[in-house]
Structure 1
Amino acid sequence: MTVDPGRRLPPPPGLVEAFRAYEQALMTNDLAELDRLFAPGPTTMRGDAQGLLVGHHMISAFRGGRGGAPARRIVQTHVQTIDDDHALVVAVTELERGGRGQQTQLWARFPDGWAVTAAHVSVPPPALDTRVWRLVGDPLVPATGSGALDGESVAVKDLYAVAGQRVGAGNPAWLEQAPAETQHAAAVASLLAAGASIRGIARTDEFAYSLAGANAHTGSPPNPRAPYRLSGGSTSGSASAVSLGQATIGLGTDTGGSIRVPAAYQGLFGIRTTHGAIPRDGLLALAPGFDTVGWLTRTASLLRTVGDVLLPPRVASSGTRLVGVPALTALAESDVVAAVAGIPVDATDDRPLPDLQAWRAAFQTWQAWEAWQVRGSWLTGRLDTLGDDVRSRFEHAASIGHDQADAARRTVDRAARAIRDLVGDDVLVIPSASSVAPRVGVDLGPVRTATMTLTSIAGLAGLPAVSLPVTTSGGLPAGACLVAAPGRDRDLLDLAVQLSGT
């Protein structure tokens, strides 16, 4: 070790040994020793490019789930002694995989020895973050025209045809056999003609059959607004690309919430359009009866501008009364309920909606039936190419018989009529998702059921829905969802601009 010449104070006794013990524990993934060498309590900090962890328990949980640190060696270490009980240690590291990083630690002496109270770690960024992108360019595809989207860049979900590229659908086996597309999907072509360029092809959950954003093959894209939490899916890569500032528009799809959930988890604006309002030519289907085109942006004004390009002309506007629905809002966790309450409503509809769970179950059954009709022939004999989560859904889909599917279809039709009656000429204000973004690795079962009950409302009735970012008291992003009658997409986009001021 070298001592900072400006202070000329030697390292305090025991510090060098503690630092070396930490480095050995890090390289052997000795979790107990690492816990011991980080100061206990709620104020200990560890930061990196992904975000800041505050509290010993948060740091310990992070280490326990990452599977060890990348192999490295120390090439320089500098100590700046503050006093006998505190010192700053900066280490330059060289990674086995290549490149150099840096680690800065603030150490303090406690009665039982030295421990880190704050740390920041940096490593060389990857040339391509494969959690976010499958392909990327500068641009990957230039604009074909000029118009309202001049200068904007698009992250295209890996379900849309991009001429000259294959559609990967989040599954390596599908990508391997996919042919190169001969022309752009309709939505992609419209964006290019309006002046936008394609930044790249972004990751998706496998076949878009998940709301988590955790792909078994490529991992979970980062969520910069909620570090170490899920990105939301299935429009996961597109959402993260926009949130990270790597694209301005995230083109995606929404079948059961795949725009609204990542928008909520990452503090973005997002729209699920009226079913059938935008052509789905060149889009790989999941469940055609529910699939819609959608997109995400960081501002409501750009969300609306994209709508000006993609949506059909406005139908006659109806009312803009904002209505809360307690039976739906109650599905969300308390912090999300409080955040959504920041959107002022003009009235509430207190009808009890006793059939919500039956509606959600019918949505999932009919969605699964359709998914197997469009993907079953290819997946038969290939289910082992899927991650566990998505595979279990397709296995269930394969087991659904005609009678069960027909019963679900009848319930879907009844639900659609009831929901359209509930909405009428109003605009419902409900949570976009039932919770903030869950931490990576937790059980998603309860959250998924509650969130699907909320998101299926628009899906069942083919309604447009716009997610607005709100913030919980804990500082985490959540979403407030505006839902209106079919064809009122432009009204919702106008409201989003008015309510957000962006």
Structure 2
Amino acid sequence: MTTRQRPVPDGLVEAFWEYERALMADDVATLDRLFAPGPTTLRGDADGLLVGHDQISAFRSSRGGTPQRRIVQTHVQTVDDDHALVVAVTELARGGRGQQTQLWVRTADGWRVTAAHVSAPGPALDTRIWRLVGDPLVPAIGPGPLDGETVAVKDVYAVRGERIGAGNPAWLAEAREEPVHARAVELLLEAGASLRGIARTEEFAWSLAGVNAHYGAPPNPRAPRRAAGGSSSGSASAVSLGQASIGLGTDTAGSIRVPAAYQGLYGIRTTHGAASTYAVLPLARSFDAVGWLTRDAGLLRRVGEVLLPPGPRNPASDLVSVPGLTGLAEPEVAAVVDAFAAEHGAMRESWDLTELPAWLAAFQTVQAWEAWHDLGAWVAPRLDEIGPEVRARFEAAALVDDEQAAAARQVVGRASARIRELVGERVVVLPSAPSVAPLLGADRSAGRQATLLLTGLAALAGLPAVGLPGRTRSGLPTGVCLLAAPGRDRDLLELAIDLT
């Protein structure tokens, strides 16, 4: 080791190399022992900061080892006999150099790391976020109101000359090159935006978690090591990371609103049919809607001026808060929604929600029938090539017959009429998602149903919904949703600016 200032304290070198050997062997027990116990121990990297020994230990236990490397330089700055800073330059077996900085302290049980930061060469292309990237991938056609903006396009939209991947390698391998742009893509290009690239989606856009079984989980920079939210997860992460300014996605049952909430973004699900879905791979045609995400409300509205049809405006903005809906969220999320509603003078109103679970079941039946109708012929012989969660949904969808679908459509029709009646000309304030982003690896089954009870309202009735970013008391992102009558998309976009 190269030293500066004071001599290297006894035992530090041995502890450092014991740590390095354990790291290369993925010896979690030794690594846990060499990191100081307690809630103040720190470990940071490009994905975020872990605080406390328990968080660090859980991360190590789940990551499955670290890339092989060798130490090429070490430098020690001794603070005193019991504290020292060690900086090591590393060379990865796969190529490239990184750096590791550790603060060591001598304890009664020997030397322990109290804080560490690791840097490694970044990938040329983060394939968790992107399938294709260019500089740009497709230049703007325009000039126009979106000059200088860049778009991450969810991999269900047609981009001329490229294939639709739909989040599944087998589908991508068989896909054709698209002869035209999707209409929404074309309008953005004509307005002056360029396409930064094609962003990952969960398989066939049939998920809300943000974890693709084949390509992994796009990062959530606002809540590190937590889910990005799906299925527009890649587009959301690209915007959150600043790699694109607009994330073009779809929202069938929350796939814009959930990632917006999990990552602290603005997002809109448009009125069903208001923005063109031409040349967009369908999941469930009765519910699929165009949507987009941005980091600020002003740009969210400017995109709406491009993608939404002109129409009459309704400046009425009476806000309504429904405790029965807010109460579906976890307490820390509900507290944010209640505070927002109170701050902006929302009236509290009681709704009869006893039929909500039945409405959701009918929605899921129709969604499954339509997904199988459009995709089942391709999926049926390839179930083994689909990730387990989405595969299970397709397997269930295959069992839905026409009679069941027809009966479910009747329920959906009644639900749609009732929801529209309840909303009226007001703007309903509710949670965008019932929880903060779950930790990666956590069981998501219960959370999915709770989420759909909230997000399904807009889907059932074809309503526009705008998600606004919030933050819980613990500092994690969450979302407040504004829900309005069909066709009031522009009103909501204007209101989003006024309320933030």
Q: Same fold, TM exceeding 0.5? A: yes
SS of alignment partner, residue 123 of structure 2: coil
* 8 Å CA contact retained: 2:231, 2:255: yes
Q: CA separation in 2, counterparts of 1:413 and 1:342?
A: 33
- Residues 1:298 and 2:295 are matched in the alignment: yes
Q: CA separation in 2, counterparts of 1:342 and 1:63?
A: 37
Q: Deviations over 1:137-169 (max 9, x none)?
A: 010000011110000000000000000000000
In the TM superposition, residue 97 of structure 1 has moved relative to its aligned partner by: 0.6
What amino acid is the match of 2:393?
R
* 8 Å CA contact retained: 2:463, 2:484: yes
Q: Deviations over 1:41-61 (max 9, x none)?
A: 111110011110101111111
- Residues 1:149 and 2:150 are matched in the alignment: no
Aligned to 1:221: 218
User: Structure 2: which 5+ runs fail to align?
Assistant: none
Pairwise CA RMSD: 0.8
Number of aligned residue pairs: give it: 497
Aligned to 1:68: 65
Aligned to 1:356: 356
Residue range with higher mean Cα deviation, 108-117 or 406-415: 406-415
What amino acid is the match of 2:131?
R
Q: CA separation in 1, counterparts of 2:247 and 2:197?
A: 10
* 8 Å CA contact retained: 2:313, 2:490: no
Give the TM-score normalised by structure 2.
Answer: 0.98
What amino acid is the match of 1:263?
A
SS of alignment partner, residue 233 of structure 1: coil
Aligned to 2:118: 121
Aligned to 2:467: 467
In the TM superposition, residue 65 of structure 1 has moved relative to its aligned partner by: 1.1
Aligned to 1:54: 51
Q: Deviations over 1:410-444 (max 9, x none)?
A: 11111111110110000000000010000000000
SS of alignment partner, residue 480 of structure 1: strand
Q: Deviations over 1:320-363 (max 9, x none)?
A: 11110111111100111111223234201112311111111111
* 8 Å CA contact retained: 2:136, 2:196: yes
Q: Deviations over 1:1-40 (max 9, x none)?
A: 1112xx1x12111111111111111111111111111111
* 8 Å CA contact retained: 2:217, 2:228: yes
In the TM superposition, residue 375 of structure 1 has moved relative to its aligned partner by: 0.3
Aligned to 1:330: 327
SS of alignment partner, residue 215 of structure 2: coil
* 8 Å CA contact retained: 2:363, 2:412: yes
Aligned to 2:452: 452
SS of alignment partner, residue 342 of structure 1: helix
In the TM superposition, residue 407 of structure 1 has moved relative to its aligned partner by: 2.2
Q: CA separation in 2, counterparts of 1:259 and 1:397?
A: 23
- Residues 1:240 and 2:237 are matched in the alignment: yes
Aligned to 2:31: 34
Residue range with higher mean Cα deviation, 308-317 or 227-236: 308-317
Which of the numbers 240, 249, 254 marks the counterpart of 1:252? Answer: 249
Q: CA separation in 2, counterparts of 1:109 and 1:369?
A: 63
Aligned to 1:406: 406
Residue range with higher mean Cα deviation, 363-372 or 191-200: 363-372
- Residues 1:267 and 2:264 are matched in the alignment: yes
Closer, same or farther: CA 330–231 of 1 in aligned 2, 3 Å? same
In the TM superposition, residue 113 of structure 1 has moved relative to its aligned partner by: 1.1
Q: CA separation in 2, counterparts of 1:223 and 1:12?
A: 40
Aligned 1:4-403 pairs, distance under 5 A: 4=4, 7=5, 9-317=6-314, 319-343=316-340, 344-403=344-403
* 8 Å CA contact retained: 1:208, 1:235: yes
In the TM superposition, residue 316 of structure 1 has moved relative to its aligned partner by: 3.7
What amino acid is the match of 1:469?
P
- Residues 1:425 and 2:425 are matched in the alignment: yes
What amino acid is the match of 1:298?
R
Q: Deviations over 1:370-428 (max 9, x none)?
A: 11110001111101110111111111111112232222211111111111011000000
Give the TM-score normalised by structure 1.
Answer: 0.98
* 8 Å CA contact retained: 2:313, 2:491: no
Q: CA separation in 2, counterparts of 1:318 and 1:461?
A: 21
Q: CA separation in 2, counterparts of 1:74 and 1:332?
A: 48
Q: CA separation in 1, counterparts of 2:380 and 2:120?
A: 42
In the TM superposition, residue 318 of structure 1 has moved relative to its aligned partner by: 5.4
Aligned to 2:486: 486
Which structure 1 residue ranges, 4+ long, deviate > 3 Å from structure 2? none
